[in-house]
Structure 1
């Protein structure tokens, strides 16, 4: 973790932004959604919706900046508001479970879904194999 050479500097410089953007802000994000719901119900809903729309516009602009150099179609950004409401809730559950297991020291497995289908060998003609370079022919 601690290197005296140049290569260690890059890793140490990335620790703070990684901690902020990958851990701290995602942990605070549920409070933003709670504040949105509270503001729509008990405060001025027009002001709350305008602020949420402004933040969504900033995220949309960041998405456009990210998609343009890659040549990705911008129509995928249409789902951004839906992602803010539905998909993010699922990510909260994953993040909270991960942080809780990290704090408690428990190992968190991959949570594999048990398979119910059986593998059946293919009964057709075998496909010709190309010889492996340097191997038997």
Structure 2
């Protein structure tokens, strides 16, 4: 959909769904969502804090696994976790307040920019995880 048309529709409060997914993932918007919701714990570059908050960058547990990542964002994560040979045992609160499109964008940002890979999840799949 043309960006101008999309902006016009959004400004009038219209809801448009194309083939079950409003628009493709936008990693640039995902970075903003990351800065607002994740950066305080996982740090700006996604390196985390050793012993406290696991890294999201170069994390084999999430690389190529958008479903797991989206579910972790929505429902939170707690208990023992190993990332790159280091142990973590904390709790990440659920972030279900983040809307579906922003989660789609956030997942795209984490997987592409912080993990150098691909991976996307649809809004419909995010909704199904709720």
Q: TM tier, shorter chain?
A: under 0.3
| Bigger Rg, structure 1 or 2 | 1
Higher relative contact order (CA 8 A, sep 6+): 2
Structure that is richer in helix per residue? 1
TM-score normalised to structure 1 length: 0.23
Structure that is richer in strand per residue? 2
